[in-house]
Amino acid sequence: MERIRLGMVGGGEGAFIGEVHRMASRLDDRYILCAGALCSNAKRSASSASKIGIPKERSYSNYQEMVTAEANLDEGIEVVAIVTPNHLHYPIAKEFLASGIHVICDKPMTIDAREARELIDLAKASNLMLAVTYNYSGYPMIRHARKMIELGELGKIRVVHTEYTQDWLTNPIENSGHKQAHWRVDPEKSGIGGCIGDIGSHAYHLSCFVTQLEAIALCADLSSFVEGRKLDDNAHIMIRYAGNAKGMIWSSQVAPGNGNNLKIQIYGDKGGLVWQQEQPNELIFTPTNKATRTLLRGSDSLSVNASALSRIPIGHPEGYIEGFANLYREIADILLIYRSGKTPISEEILFPTGQDGLDGVTFIEAAVKSNNKDSIWVNL
Amino acid sequence: MERIRLGMVGGGEGAFIGEVHRMASRLDDRYILCAGALCSNAKRSASSASKIGIPKERSYSNYQEMVTAEANLDEGIEVVAIVTPNHLHYPIAKEFLASGIHVICDKPMTIDAREARELIDLAKASNLMLAVTYNYSGYPMIRHARKMIELGELGKIRVVHTEYTQDWLTNPIENSGHKQAHWRVDPEKSGIGGCIGDIGSHAYHLSCFVTQLEAIALCADLSSFVEGRKLDDNAHIMIRYAGNAKGMIWSSQVAPGNGNNLKIQIYGDKGGLVWQQEQPNELIFTPTNKATRTLLRGSDSLSVNASALSRIPIGHPEGYIEGFANLYREIADILLIYRSGKTPISEEILFPTGQDGLDGVTFIEAAVKSNNKDSIWVNL
Amino acid sequence: MERIRLGMVGGGEGAFIGEVHRMASRLDDRYILCAGALCSNAKRSASSASKIGIPKERSYSNYQEMVTAEANLDEGIEVVAIVTPNHLHYPIAKEFLASGIHVICDKPMTIDAREARELIDLAKASNLMLAVTYNYSGYPMIRHARKMIELGELGKIRVVHTEYTQDWLTNPIENSGHKQAHWRVDPEKSGIGGCIGDIGSHAYHLSCFVTQLEAIALCADLSSFVEGRKLDDNAHIMIRYAGNAKGMIWSSQVAPGNGNNLKIQIYGDKGGLVWQQEQPNELIFTPTNKATRTLLRGSDSLSVNASALSRIPIGHPEGYIEGFANLYREIADILLIYRSGKTPISEEILFPTGQDGLDGVTFIEAAVKSNNKDSIWVNL
Amino acid sequence: MERIRLGMVGGGEGAFIGEVHRMASRLDDRYILCAGALCSNAKRSASSASKIGIPKERSYSNYQEMVTAEANLDEGIEVVAIVTPNHLHYPIAKEFLASGIHVICDKPMTIDAREARELIDLAKASNLMLAVTYNYSGYPMIRHARKMIELGELGKIRVVHTEYTQDWLTNPIENSGHKQAHWRVDPEKSGIGGCIGDIGSHAYHLSCFVTQLEAIALCADLSSFVEGRKLDDNAHIMIRYAGNAKGMIWSSQVAPGNGNNLKIQIYGDKGGLVWQQEQPNELIFTPTNKATRTLLRGSDSLSVNASALSRIPIGHPEGYIEGFANLYREIADILLIYRSGKTPISEEILFPTGQDGLDGVTFIEAAVKSNNKDSIWVNL
C-alpha cells in the first residue's frame, strides 16, 4: 500500500470544508497529510497544523512559502488540496501547478472563466492533475444513475429537474460574525455568484455529470432577498441541454426547512430517476408504465461503478464524507499512475477536473448575464 | 336539511371527472342530481343517465334541450355542473347562465380570455354563481396553509415553487384510443394549452390561492416531447408575484414515476411550507431556524378554515374526493343564500370563481405567448 | 340502478363512526338512508334524524320501536347499520335479525363469544346477512396484497408483524367529558377489551384477512398505563398462525405521534409486503433479493380485486371513507342477490361477516386470558 | 495531537466488520494501526496486513504470538480491537487483558455469561478498559434521544418498541459459501443465539441505552424458518423494564426488503420518539398533543451530547461509519486518560463496556431459555 503525500492550503480553525477534505483523505487510508498553510495568519496557521498533526517544520505561514519549500523537498507533497475562499483558488493553484505539484481545488474553481482556462492550460502543459471537488458526483448511487442513463435504461432524456435548496442564509447572519456566511456573500471573495456559485454550480455539474448531456443555454432570474445582500441568494434557471432535453435549476439559500437539499429528477421516454442527497443511499427508478423501484447502495445488482465506491453493506448508510472520499480514492489511483511516470487516460477519469471547473464558472457567468439582461437565453 | 337541485352536462360513460363531481356532490348529502345531458350521443346519454339514477324524463340528448326544459320546470335544477372537454365549457355555461341557472364549471373555464370575461360579466349581470373547480384549493391543509400565510406565520413571502408532474402521456397513447388522452392533446378541444392547461393551470391557481399573491409576469419554455403531439406536454415557467416574490412552475405529463404529483413549496423570511397532493393530510412547516413540524389534518390545533373541511379524525386519511367535495359543500352553502333571495358577500367565497377561471386562461395564454417569443417575460 | 333501503341505530350527534357509515353508504349511491334510531334520547334522536334528512315518521326513539315499525312497512328498511357502543350491538342485532332485517354491525361484534355465536346462528337460520365492519379489509391495496399472497408471490408465509398505534388516550381524557373516550374505557360498554378490542381486533382481523392464515394461539401482555383506567391501553401479543407462521401484534392508544397507525408487514420466503393505513394507496413489495417496488392504487397492473374497489386514477388519493365505502358497495351487491330471492354463495363474500366478528371476540378473550395467566399461550 | 497505538485481531481479507473498525479508527485521526493478527492462516494474515499498511514485523500469525510480542515492545499497542467470530472473543480478550493491553471487543462479547463476567473482573483487576462495540449507541441522534429522556422530555416511559430486521438470510446462503453467513448460523462459532445474538442483542442494548431503563424480564418465541438452520433467524420477544415500562423486540434476518432496519420507538406520557438506523440523521419527536417535529443532526438546538459527535453541517448525511467512529473517538479520549496514569471516572464513559457485553449475553441466554420453556417469563 502506497500513500499519497498530501498538502493543504486553507482549512484552519473555524473552516468547514478543509476538515471534510481531510476526513475524505483519511477514510480509505490512501494519503498522508504532510504539509499545510492552513490560515492566512501565521500564528493560527501553526496552531491549526499542530492540532491536526502536521509536523511543525512543514506548517507554513502562507502558500508561497509552502510551494517553494515543498517543491524543493525530496519527499515533498505530490498534491495540494486548496480549500480557501473562492478568490484565492486561482493564484494558489497556479503557483502549485507551476511548481509541478498536482492540485485538488474546491469549487467554484476560479472567479472567472479566463482564470479557469489558464489553470487548465497550465495543468495540461505541465502534465499535472487538476481535480475539482464537485463532490456530489462521488456518491455511489449517482454513479449508478449515470451508468443507467449511459446504458439507455431511461431512453432518450427529455427533462432534467435539479434543485439545491438550503436555509442557512434566510437571515442576514453575515452581519453578525458568521465566518462561513461572511465570505460567501462578499463579491470580493466569492466572485459574481452567491448562491448560484456556492450551490447552484453543484446542481449544474450534477445534472451534466449524471446525464452526460452538454448544457447549451440558460435563462435566469436571480434574487437577493435579504436586504443589503450583494450577491444572489436564490436562483431560478431554465436550461437547455443538447439533444433537445430541457431542465430547470433552482438553487436557494433562503428556503427554511432545507438543510442541504440537493435533488435531481431525470426523465426519459423509457423511465425516470430521482435522487436526493439527504437520502443518498437510495435511487428511485420508474421504468415507464411499471412500478417504481428503490435501488439501494450495497445491493448486489448495482453496476460496478457504484459498487466500487461502496464500503459497507446495504442498509448501513454511507453519507457525505464517504461520497467525498470516493473522489479522493479515485484521485489517489490516478496520482499513482502519475507517480509511476505514466499519464492517465482521460477517459478513465470520472472525478471532476479542470474542464468541470471551467464549466461551473461559465455557468455562473451565464446565469448572471442572463439575469442582467431580463432573463434572455444565454449560451453556455 | 335542504338539498340543492343539481344538473350535469358531460360525464357520461368513459368519462373521469364527471363521476368525481358526482361523488363530491354526494359525500355530504347536500345535492340531488336531478337532470343531465351526459353525452353528446343521445342514446349513450340516456343509458348513462339511467345507470346513475337520473329520471328518464330529465335525461336530455343535449345541453340546449336541457337548459330549455329545466328553466321551465318549477323545481328545475338550480345549478349545473359542466364536465365536458374544454372547448364546450363556454357555450354551455353561457346558455345556463342566460337562463338563470348557476354554473359549476370544470377548468380551464374557457378556451380564451375573451370567453372567460364574457361569462364573468354574464354571471354578474344575472346575479348568478359561476364556480370553477380548481379542486386542489379544497384540501383542508391547503386552507390551513393559506391561513398561516395570511396570519404572517411565514413572514414576507419570497419564493413559491410549484410542480405538477404526471406520467400518463409519456407515450403517444392518444393514438391508440385512449379517450382521456385524445381530447387533451387536441387543440380543437383543449385550446392552446396542453399540459399547461390541463395541470399547469392547477399549479398556477394553487400558488396564487395559497399565498394570496398576485402573479404579475411569467417567462416560459414549453415542449412537446412526444413526436407529433401538437400541444405542450412539459412546461418550465419562471414567474414573478407582487411584492417581489418569485417562483417556478414546472408541469409535465411525461415524467415517469409521477402519478399526480402536485407539490408546492412556499418560503418566507419567517418559515417554509411544503405540501404534496399525494399526501394531502400533511403540511410540513418549518419556522426559520427551528425544527420542521408535520401538521396533520384532523389535529386539534388547525385553523377553523381547515377543520371545517375535515370529516374524520387524524390518521384516517381523506383524499381527492373529499377535497373536491369541500368545494361542493361550500358551493351548496352559497347556493342556499341565493335560494333565500340574498346575494352572498364575495369575501365569504373561498372556492374558485369566474375570476379564477379567467386568471387560469390568462396564465395559459401568457405561457404560450412567452414560449413563442423565446421566453420573454409576459405580463399576467 | 336500484338502491338499498338502509336504516341506522346509533350515530346521532357527537358520534363518530355513524357519520362514517353514512358517508360510506352515499359515496357510490347504492343506498337510501330511510330510517333511524340515532340516539338513546328520543329528543336528540329526532333532531339528529332531521339534520340528516331522515323523514320524521321514520325517526324512532329507540331500536325496539324501529324494528317493529320497519318490519311492518311494505318498503321498510332491508338492512340496518348498528353503530352504537359495543355492548348494545348484540341485543340490537338480535332484534333486527329476528325480524328479517339484514345487519351491518360495527366491531367488535359483541361483548363475548357466546353472543357472537348466537348472532351467527340466528343469521344463518333466517337466511340473512350479518356483516361486520372491519373496514380496513376494504382498502384496495389490502385486497391486492391478499391476492398476491394467494397467488404465492410471497412464497410460504413466515412472519406477520402488525401494529396499530394511536395516541389519543395518552392522557385520561375519559375523565373530562370526552364522549368517544368515555365509553371505550368503560368495561360496561366496551367489554373486557380496551385498546385490544377497539383497535387490536382490527389488527388481528387484518393479519388473518390478508394472509388467509388461521391464527392458532397467542401470548399476551396487556397494560393500563393511565392511572385508574380499567381496561388495557397497550397490548403486546405474540401470535402463531397455521403453517408455522408467527407474528406479533402491538396495539396502543398511548403512543404520542401515532394518529391511526395501522401497519402490517408480511414476510415469506419469496418476498415481503408492507402496508400502512396512513398511506393506503401504496403497497411496498420486495421480491427476495430484488429491488423494492411501490405498488400503487390506480395502476394498470393491479389485480381485479384491487382495481374493482378503486374509483379514481393513480396519484389521486383515496382514503378511509373510500375504503369503508368499498365494504358498503360489496354489501349492496350481496343484498341485491338477497332481494332477488337468492342466497349468495359465501365464497363470493369478501367483506367481513359474523364469523369474523366471532373471531375478533375470541381474540379479545384469548388475549385477556393469556394476560391474566402470566402470558401463557392460549389457543384461538 | 496524540494518537493511540491500535492493534487488531481478525479482520483479514473477506471480513466485514474489521474494515469498519479500521475506518472508524481513521476517521478522526486518533489512532495508528500498528499491529495485527488478521487471519487464522499465517500467510493470509501477512498478505492482509501488507495491504493495509501494517509493518511486516508487526503482522503476526496468531493472537498468542501478537500479545507476547506487543506486550514486550516499548511502544507496543495500547489497545486491541477484536473482530473475529464470536467464539474467539473470550480467549483473545483474556490474553490481551492479562498482558496489560486494553480491549475493544465486537459483540456479542462472549459465548456465555460466565466468560463475560470473567472478562469484566479481569479488566477491573488490571485497571484496563474493556469496550464493546454496540455501535448504534454512537449515533448522534441516539445520544440526543437519551439526553431528552434523561431530561424528562418524554415523561415517564411506558412503551419501548424495538425492531431490527434484515433479509440477507432469507435463503440458506450459508450452504453456498457465504463466509459471513456461514459462521453466524453455526452454534460452534456464534454460540446459542443466531439472529438474536447477531442483531437482537443490538436492539436490546439500544433500548436500554436510550431509555436508561433496566430490563427485568422477557418472554420469547424464536424461530428457525430456513430448513436445516440450527440457530434462530427470527425472534419475537416481549420485555419488561424497570418502572413498569414494557416493550417488544422483534429481530429477523428473513424479512425481504429490510436491509439493516434497526428502529426504535419510545413512548412516555409526555411524548414519543422514533429513530431509524437507515435515516440516522433524523429523530422524530412528538410532544403529547402537539405536532410531530423532525430533529436533525447538525442543527443548532441539539444537546451537547449529540453535537459533540457530529462532524458536518445539517443536511450533509453522516452514516454508519461515522456512528461507529464516535465510539472510537470516545474510546481514544478515555485511553489518553489511562495513558496519563489516571483511571477514568466510569460515569464519564458513554460507550458500551464489559457490563453491556455481559447484559447482551444475558439477554441471549434468557431469550433461548424462555423459548425452550414455551415462552415463560425469564428474569434478566
Residue spans of the domains in chain A: they are 4-132, 138-311+360-379
Q: CA-CA distance, B187 to B190, in Å (whole number)?
A: 5
Which of C238, C256, C274 minimises the CB distance to D286?
C256
How far the first Cα of chain A sits from its last, in Å, is: 43
In angstroms, the separation between the Cα of residue C232 and the nearest Cα of chain D is 13
Grid cell digits, residue D351: 460507550
Helix (H) or strand (E) holding D271: strand D271-276
What pLDDT does B1 receive?
A: 67
B262: nearest CA partner in chain C? C315
Out of B285, B291, B299, the one facing D295 most closely (by C-beta) is B291
Rounded Cα distance between C380 and C345, Å, is 26
- Whether residue B166 contacts residue B259, with contact meaning beta carbons closer than 8 Å, is answered with yes
Q: Check CB contact of B71 with chain D, cutoff 8 Å.
A: no
Q: Is A172 on the interface with B (CB under 8 A)?
A: no
> Taken in order C326, C327, C333, C336, is the CA torsion positive or negative?
negative
Instruction: Collect all residues of chain B within an 8 Å Cβ-Cβ radius of residue C22.
Output: 29
- Interchain proximity B26–C27, CB inside 8 Å: yes
Let me know: does D108 contact D193? Beta carbons within 8 Å: yes
Contacting subunits of C (3+ beta carbon pairs below 8 A): A, B, D
Q: What is the pLDDT of residues C264-304, one digit of tens each?
A: 999 999 999 999 999 999 999 999 999 999 999 999 889 88
Q: Mind listing the pLDDT tens digit for each residue in D155-166?
A: 999 999 999 999
C178 has a chain D CB within 8 A of its CB: no
CATH number of this structure's domain D139-310+360-379: 3.30.360.10
Give C98-124 pLDDT, tens digit per residue: 999 999 999 999 999 999 999 999 999
Residues contacting residue A334 through CB under 8 Å, at least 6 positions apart: A129, A344, A348, A349, A351
Q: Tens of pLDDT along D49-101? A: 999 999 999 999 999 999 999 999 999 999 999 999 999 999 999 999 999 99
Q: Which tens digit of pLDDT belongs to each residue from D278-309?
A: 999 999 999 999 999 999 999 988 988 899 99
Give the mutation candidate from D278, D297, D329 for the A interface (greatest A CB count, under 10 A): D278
C152 reaches B (C-beta below 8 A): no
Please tell me the class of the C140-313+360-379 domain.
alpha beta
pLDDT (tens, 9 = 90+) of chain B, 380 residues, equals 689 999 999 999 878 899 999 999 999 999 999 999 999 888 999 999 999 999 999 999 999 999 999 999 999 999 999 999 999 999 999 999 999 999 999 999 999 999 999 999 999 999 999 999 999 999 999 999 999 999 999 999 999 999 999 999 999 999 998 888 988 989 999 999 999 999 999 999 999 999 999 999 999 999 999 999 999 999 999 999 999 999 999 999 999 999 999 999 999 999 999 999 999 999 999 999 999 999 999 998 898 889 999 999 999 999 999 999 999 999 999 999 999 999 999 888 999 999 999 999 999 999 999 999 999 999 99
Tally A–B CB contacts below 8 A: 137
Tell me the count of A-D CB pairs closer than 8 A: 110
Q: What's residue A177's pLDDT?
A: 86
**For residue A190, which of A82, A38, A85, A39 has the smallest C-alpha distance?**
A85
Which one, of B261, B189, B186, B192, lies nearest residue B220 by Cα?
A: B192
The whole-number pLDDT of residue A1 equals: 67
Q: What is the ipTM of this complex?
A: 0.96
Cβ contact A53–D1 (<8 Å): yes
- Note the CATH architecture for domain A138-311+360-379: 2-Layer Sandwich (3.30)
CA distance D279 to chain B (A): 16
The answer for residues whose C-beta is within 8 angstroms of residue A87's C-beta and 6 or more apart is: A111, A188, A189, A190, A191
Q: Is A227 helix (H, G, I), strand (E, B) or coil?
A: coil
D171–C269: do the CB atoms touch at under 8 Å? yes
Q: What is the pLDDT of residues D199-252, one digit of tens each?
A: 999 999 999 999 999 999 999 999 999 999 999 999 999 999 999 999 999 999
Q: Shortest Cα distance from B2 to chain C (angstroms)?
A: 8
Put simply, the answer to whether D291 touches B290 (Cβ < 8 Å) is no
Closest CA to B373 of A353, A377, A124: A377
Q: What is the mean pLDDT of chain D?
A: 96
Measured at the CA of C263, the angle between CA C259 and CA C268, to 5 degrees, comes to 175
Task: Classify B140-312+360-379 by CATH class.
Answer: alpha beta
How far off is chain C from D295, nearest CA to CA, in Å? 14
Q: Does the distance separating the beta carbons of A238 and B246 come in below 8 Å?
A: no
pLDDT band at residue D1 under the 50/70/90 scheme = low
pLDDT tens track of chain A, all 380 residues? Answer: 689 999 999 999 878 899 999 999 999 999 999 999 999 888 999 999 999 999 999 999 999 999 999 999 999 999 999 999 999 999 999 999 999 999 999 999 999 999 999 999 999 999 999 999 999 999 999 999 999 999 999 999 999 999 999 999 999 999 998 888 988 999 999 999 999 999 999 999 999 999 999 999 999 999 999 999 999 999 999 999 999 999 999 999 999 999 999 999 999 999 999 999 999 999 999 999 999 999 999 998 898 889 999 999 999 999 999 999 999 999 999 999 999 999 999 888 999 999 999 999 999 999 999 999 999 999 99
Closest CA of chain B from D294, distance in Å: 5
Reported pTM: 0.97
- Tracing cell 422530555 back to the chain, one arrives at D153
Residue B277, min C-alpha distance to chain C (Å): 8
What is the pLDDT, as a whole number, of residue C15?
Answer: 80
The stretches of chain A forming alpha helices (DSSP H) are: 17-27, 42-51, 63-72, 89-98, 113-126, 140-150, 179-184, 187-190, 195, 201-211, 304-307, 320-339, 354-372
Do residue B294 and residue D292 have CB atoms under 8 angstroms apart? Answer: yes
- CA C89 to CA B200: how far, in whole Å? 51
**What average pLDDT does the segment C178-188 reach?**
89
Distance, in Å, from the CA atom of C23 to the CA atom of A94, rounded to the nearest integer, reads 74
Phi-psi region of D240 (alpha: psi -120 to 50; beta: other; left: phi over 0): beta
Percent of chain C with pLDDT over 90: 92
Query: Is B241 in CB contact (< 8 Å) with chain A?
Result: no
B246·A240 Cβ contact <8 A: no
Q: What is the mean pLDDT of residues C206-235?
A: 98
Q: Judging by beta carbons within 10 Å of its beta carbon (0-12, 13-18, 19+), is residue A227 exposed, middle or buried?
A: exposed
Nearest-neighbour CA in chain D from C11: distance (Å):
26
Q: Is the dihedral of CA D60, D63, D69, D72 positive or negative?
A: positive
Mean pLDDT value of segment D36-58: 93
* Residue in B closest to D287 by C-alpha: B293
Nearest by CB to residue A292, choosing from C289, C290, C293, is C293
Band of the pLDDT at C41, cuts 50, 70, 90? Answer: confident
Cell of B245: 416574490
**Is D283's Cβ below 8 Å from some Cβ in B?**
no
B22 touches chain C (CB under 8 A): yes
Neighboring chain D residues of A319 at a CB cutoff of 8 Å:
281, 316-319, 322
Per DSSP, the three-state class of D238 is: strand
* Those residues with Cβ within 8 angstroms of residue A282's Cβ, 6 or more apart along the chain or in another chain: A141, A275, A276, A294, A295, A296, A297
Q: Measure B233 CA to nearest chain A CA, in Å.
A: 11
- Dihedral through CA B52, CA B56, CA B61, CA B64, nearest 10? -100
C261 near A CB under 8 A: no
Return d(Cα A322, Cα D224) in angstroms, integer: 36
Cβ pair A284:B223 closer than 8 A: no
Nearest C-alpha of chain C: how many angstroms from D205?
A: 20
Residue A57: partners with Cβ closer than 8 Å, 6 or more residues away: none
- Any chain C CB within 8 A of the CB of B48? no
Q: Does domain B4-132 match CATH 3.10.105.10?
A: no
Q: Do the chains contact at C287 and D256, CB–CB below 8 Å?
A: yes
Taking contacts as CB-CB distances below 8 angstroms, the residues of chain C near D236 are 238, 246-248
